[in-house]
Amino acid sequence: MPKGGIEKFKAEREKLNQLVMKYAGREIKRFYSIDAQVYQDGALPAKTKELLGLVASLVLRCDDCISYHIIQCHENSVSDEELEEALSIAVVVGGSITIPHLRRALQSWDELRKTESLGS
């Protein structure tokens, strides 16, 4: 993601989700609701669920989903070590074709970590 890409991604995602909701019927709204609910604390903590979402997204090679879950992992206080272990699983499951997505995921993570250290 280009420098400052996280904030751009968040803004565009918000704008596009508002557009989706403008046209969404019951089924799309229900899907969005399930998506939001499934990542809440339950038997598994939200942090673990976000790591699972990140692994699935990397294996499926969905850059938007990867960016979203990287942000959520950061907001759920995932450590660098936890992230690296989860991403290792994704690369093993997904194979070498996931490496470009791994690079972009870590670029986004690095941007979030730098922003965090500037804010401290």
* CATH number of the CATH domain containing 99: 1.20.1290.10
pLDDT for 58-101, tens place per residue? 999 999 999 999 999 999 999 999 999 999 999 999 999 999 99
Give me the domain span that covers residue 73: 5-119
All residues at 6 or more sequence positions from 9 whose CB lies less than 8 Å from its CB, including other chains: 1, 64, 67, 71
**What's the pLDDT score for residue 87?**
98
**What's the pLDDT score for residue 116?**
80
Count of domains forming the chain: 1
Confidence of residue 120 (pLDDT cuts 50, 70, 90): low
What 8-state DSSP symbol labels residue 77? T
Asked whether residue 1 carries a pLDDT value surpassing 90, the answer given is no
Confidence of residue 3 (pLDDT cuts 50, 70, 90): low
